[in-house]
Structure 1
């Protein structure tokens, strides 16, 4: 849990360099991306909508002429932020050979201020930003101050209208850790599983009084984190028993009584990958998702 800004990229300067050519024609790049999601209609490209993928792809095409297969680790919803998003894209190898060391600087000059590419690296063999990931970690910021969120943090902090108890929040969180069917907390999609492994889920309180929920899982279904946070907050303010969020895991349909909190309090802060075996990890993940 961080109470300040984004975590530094481990072992990375402004650009991570590599020399692996996929086929002599195209090169797969890994991009580490941060964005303020306030003015975006989510990550995924949509017609007539401003999206992170749409903005990023347009500037990558300006640099490389053409790009293919822009794929993200976690498709964030409208209004959700990221400090540790990861994506991959295939670009012409000659373009990378020509621009490699200047790509981060060039993108900083082309992209709008609410999107930053923090690092670019040549992806290792078999790397897939989505399917090679081991886990994703999100944080959700909430304040229970009577006067609301700080004006300087209003874009990433939810103002909760009732006093919260840290012990109650963590007691509620404990009942949600582990592998479960989170159908009560997800928007179900046809032919998609709602079984997920929540590896870590806990709350801290920062020195400024803001509560921060940290949730880490192998993957998340749509609106899952915001629904989990909503359920825990109703236990944290005393309106529900601390056992209530966990008791909903027996449901096989979305629980309509669970509040889905605002997107603006949620930030994707880290995506983890194995040290090698990226293709094998991707294949195993695809089998699980099917």
Structure 2
């Protein structure tokens, strides 16, 4: 077997999240079915392609910088170019483009460095959440990727309110509980800005960086921020919710369409295996998946 890294993006609007689920359209299901069409392991009695992803996104959440890996039989990998002189990874990308729907794109496929694990080797994941709180900033062409909000938001207050949440914290109040799963995460960055130029000009944008995320964590943090931005809650409130560790005190989880996984960052190749081993030792199988939403 050889391990192949895939760099991909998708529009999550029509997906029931990343993880394969019976009778539901998911990103993992679409990609694995597409890979099987190309590598055709089943007729040869070989293991079917199974993807491991860096961040398992929820229903409706998008990804621009998602990373996954798949282990393929070496004979199927080397056979991908056929009679052409292309690299197997280049051939795989081209052939996936022909079988995948337009809301999923694989940008790159290549042999992974030794010790690489898309999930366990990652240092951190970076998400963005975009809000249009002004009619002038509402673009109907981007309506599936930006949350439209009816009231103007105080961005400075939102930013100040979430700074005490940074660091290694117990985010139980901002996570959907899962039996046996820890809610302790390292929130490296959480900022709110209103860019004056660029593609996000006029929008209210959160930049959220953490080693991993609990279920619904990002959207709950956004909900608490909005409560402050509207003036319904004081700047001190998000930290008070965090300290309470009570999920019912947290603000409502906002809709997923404003949330995008922008980037997954890995250590240098020499450190990949060590990083993966350390994270495996820290988390149980049930707890390792870094949810996005």
The answer to whether residue 38 in structure 2 is matched with residue 63 in structure 1 is: yes
Q: Give the paired residue count.
A: 265
Shift of 1:98: 2.2
Shift of 1:256: 4.3
Alignment-derived partner of residue 83 in structure 1: 64
Q: For the residues of structure 2 that align with 1:161 and 1:172, how far apart are their CA atoms?
A: 21
Alignment-derived partner of residue 6 in structure 2: 31
The answer to whether residue 226 in structure 2 is matched with residue 237 in structure 1 is: no
Do 1:148 and 1:160's aligned partners in 2 also have CA atoms closer than 8 Å? no
Q: For the residues of structure 1 that align with 2:209 and 2:164, how far apart are their CA atoms?
A: 14
3-state SS of paired residue (2:248): coil
More helix by share: 2
Query: Quick check: 106-115 or 205-214, which moved more?
Result: 205-214
3-state SS of paired residue (2:209): strand
Q: For the residues of structure 1 that align with 2:193 and 2:121, how far apart are their CA atoms?
A: 29
Alignment-derived partner of residue 106 in structure 2: 117
Alignment-derived partner of residue 287 in structure 2: none
- What RMSD over aligned residues (CA atoms) do the two structures have, in Å? 1.3
Q: For the residues of structure 1 that align with 2:184 and 2:162, how far apart are their CA atoms?
A: 17
The answer to whether residue 216 in structure 2 is matched with residue 223 in structure 1 is: yes
**Normalised by the size of structure 2, how large is the TM-score?**
0.87
Shift of 1:251: 2.3
Match of 2:19 among 44, 48, 66: 44
Gaps of 5+ in 2: 42-47, 81-87, 285-293
Shift of 1:148: 7.2
Shift of 1:219: 0.3
The answer to whether residue 283 in structure 2 is matched with residue 289 in structure 1 is: yes
Gaps of 5+ in 1: 1-25
Q: For the residues of structure 2 that align with 1:139 and 1:153, how far apart are their CA atoms?
A: 15
**Normalised by the size of structure 1, how large is the TM-score?**
0.88
Q: For the residues of structure 1 that align with 2:110 and 2:276, how far apart are their CA atoms?
A: 19
